[in-house]
């Protein structure tokens, strides 16, 4: 029997273009170099990429200090409140 990797849970709902998101776990982002390379956020969402046909959580394309970057939704949370609103 093959075991699948354990991922953090997905976001409560997917962000929309223009919403702000941040790293869910800044310490993890720092440990793997994302914090240094792409910045601390918050990041503006450019678009969401459906990966359900691959049995993967959605990809979220962010505008970072190095340009656009697709990050799996499990590594992100809304920047302000549960839906990205202040």
- pLDDT at site 82: 52
Whole-number pLDDT of residue 45: 98
* Residue for token pair 């240094």: 36
Q: What is the pTM of this model?
A: 0.82
Residues 55-78: tens digit of each pLDDT: 889 999 999 989 999 999 999 999
- pLDDT at residue 41 in the model: 92
Evaluate whether 73 touches 14 at the Cβ level (below 8 Å): yes
Mean pLDDT of 5-16: 83
SS3 38: helix
């Amino acid at each position: 029997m093959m075991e699948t990797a354990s991922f953090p849970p997905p976001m409560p709902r997917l962000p929309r273009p223009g919403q702000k998101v941040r790293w869910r776990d800044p310490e993890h982002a720092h440990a793997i170099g994302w914090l240094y390379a792409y910045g601390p956020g918050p990041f503006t969402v450019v678009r969401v990429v459906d990966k359900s046909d691959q049995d993967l959580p959605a990809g979220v394309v962010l505008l970072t200090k190095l340009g656009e970057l697709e990050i799996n939704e499990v590594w992100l949370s809304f920047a302000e409140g549960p839906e990205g609103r202040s």
